Amino acid sequence: MCMKIELPCSCGKAKAQFNNLNNILPPSVIENVYCPACSAEVTVDPETMLVDNGWIIEYNMEQIRFLLAKTGIAPETVTPEFVFDERYSTWQGVTPTDMEESLREREEIIALAKVDKKKYFETIKSWSINRMQAFMEAGWRKAQPRSA
């Protein structure tokens, strides 16, 4: 089970939604979040930060390495990319605002089901395919194919 975490970005103009896999890591491992508006002012430290499509997540890597070591993960293998890509602390959804946006978009499509079921099924299918394609083309990290 994953607990939803919502944090404001550094400038306060946006919010990002996170999941921490099986609650192994507490929300406190996320030290700062920077949206595209405030990330331009940030010097990225690759030892503690992950950049995803203009957003920056700053992790408390010392705390993360300590906690993941308790699960048998070698501290030297733990990087911001590992934490994000292995879902230990990552966006809830594909982007920082994905879940909120997808709910709003789905509600509009679901209204079609009451009027035209065939149109609803066609629309929901193409919506999900097109949405993921748009995320991939926009460069969102979680939308990119992962190597085995």
Domain positions in the chain are 4-91, 98-143
pLDDT at 1 over 60: no
Stretch 136-144: mean pLDDT: 96
Q: What are the two backbone dihedrals, phi and then psi, of residue 6, each rounded to the nearest 5 degrees?
A: -120, 125
**Cβ contact 76:61 at 8 Å:** no
**Cβ contact 2:21 at 8 Å:** yes
pLDDT at 148: 59
pLDDT at 147 over 80: no
Stretch 48-65: mean pLDDT: 98
- Environment class of 118 (CB within 10 Å of its CB; exposed 0-12, middle 13-18, buried 19+): exposed
pLDDT at 57: 98
